[in-house]
């Protein structure tokens, strides 16, 4: 029972920390500027993600028993194939962009949901995000779920099919608090946006030749998202 709770807890931990990071940003903002609102905190969702990923980089990427993600990433690179990467990038791009657009039309009746995720930031801030955000997201998120979380789910003797379902569910769930929102429609939209992509990643991850390609595709898609923000005039 303890191992089961630990397995679920580890898999859920990113969602909890994203929520806490979002609430921390909101709380600090209101202490500094009394008029600071929830929409103001949502503009800082990049820092919410970067902060949590740095935490996992420092804590979960340290060697713990026989789990060392750096060793896994080196192995992923050894298995890297360009054709696999191109296929992974195509699938990642179609399902990430398509998932957001389809879910937006399903929930809102238009593409306003995806537009809400793009914000305007000062140039210097955006350049810093450009350097740190894509790298941290790509090299922390997938190894966390498919190496660390999967390891603890296996230790809990959870069947592979059930473990895969839990990983897909929690991988999609973490996005409902990025950024934090009090709009139930937006929360549902965020969850639905990433379900198909999470299923695709789960299936593709089973084949070692796809793994570094998935991480690289994740990096490129996040990099393009930040570049899109760079094209939007920021506030001085």
Write the DSSP string, 92-119: HHHHHHHHHHHHHHHHHSSSHHHHTT--
- Residues 6 or more apart whose Cβ sits within 8 Å of residue 113: 100, 103, 104, 107, 186, 189, 193
The pLDDT-based confidence of 226 (bands split at 50, 70, 90) is: confident
pTM of the full structure: 0.87
The verdict on residue 192 lying in a domain is yes
The verdict on residue 209 lying in a domain is yes
Kind plus residue range of the DSSP H or E element containing 207: none
The verdict on residue 169 lying in a domain is yes
Q: Find residue 64's DSSP bridge partners.
A: 67
Burial of 139 (0-12, 13-18, 19+ CB in 10 A): buried
Judged against a pLDDT cut of 60, whether residue 62 lies above it is answered with no
The verdict on residue 93 lying in a domain is yes
Mean pLDDT, residues 43-56: 86
The pLDDT-based confidence of 198 (bands split at 50, 70, 90) is: very high
Mean pLDDT, residues 200-225: 92
Judged against a pLDDT cut of 60, whether residue 236 lies above it is answered with no
The verdict on residue 236 lying in a domain is no
What does the alpha-carbon distance between residue 166 and residue 8 come to, in Å, rounded to a whole number?
8
pLDDT for residue 63? 53
Mean pLDDT, residues 141-165: 91
pLDDT for residue 55? 83
Among 52-56, 164-168, 181-185, top mean pLDDT goes to 164-168
- Residues 6 or more apart whose Cβ sits within 8 Å of residue 7: 149, 152, 153, 155, 156, 158
Contact 53, 137 (CB under 8 A): yes
The verdict on residue 235 lying in a domain is no
Contact 87, 213 (CB under 8 A): yes
The pLDDT-based confidence of 234 (bands split at 50, 70, 90) is: very low
Proportion of the chain above pLDDT 70, given as a percent:
87
The verdict on residue 200 lying in a domain is yes
pLDDT for residue 190? 93
Number of domains in the chain: 1
Domain around 6: 2-230
Contact 122, 235 (CB under 8 A): yes
Judged against a pLDDT cut of 70, whether residue 10 lies above it is answered with yes
pLDDT for residue 139? 85
**How many residues are there in the chain?**
236
Mean pLDDT, residues 85-94: 94
């Amino acid at each position: 029972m303890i191992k089961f709770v630990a397995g679920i807890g580890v898999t859920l931990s990113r969602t909890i920390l994203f929520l806490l990071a979002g609430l921390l940003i909101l709380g600090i903002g209101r202490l500094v500027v009394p008029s600071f609102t929830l929409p103001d905190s949502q503009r800082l969702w990049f820092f919410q993600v970067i902060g949590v990923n740095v935490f996992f980089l420092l804590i979960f990427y340290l060697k713990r028993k026989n789990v060392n993600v750096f060793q896994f990433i080196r192995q992923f690179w050894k298995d890297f194939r360009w054709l696999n990467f191109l296929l992974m990038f195509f699938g990642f791009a179609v399902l990430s962009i398509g998932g957001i657009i389809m879910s937006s039309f399903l929930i809102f009746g238009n593409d306003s949901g995806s537009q809400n995720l793009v914000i305007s930031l000062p140039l210097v801030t955006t350049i810093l995000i450009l350097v740190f955000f894509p790298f941290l997201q790509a090299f922390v998120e997938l190894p966390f779920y498919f190496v660390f979380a999967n390891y603890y789910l296996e230790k809990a003797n959870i069947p592979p099919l059930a473990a895969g379902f839990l990983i897909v569910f929690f991988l999609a769930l973490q996005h409902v608090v990025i950024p934090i929102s009090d709009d139930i429609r937006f929360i549902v939209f965020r969850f639905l946006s990433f379900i198909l992509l999470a299923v695709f990643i789960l299936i593709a991850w089973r084949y070692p030749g796809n793994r570094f390609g998935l991480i690289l595709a994740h990096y490129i898609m996040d990099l393009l998202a930040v570049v899109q923000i760079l094209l939007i005039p920021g506030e001085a």
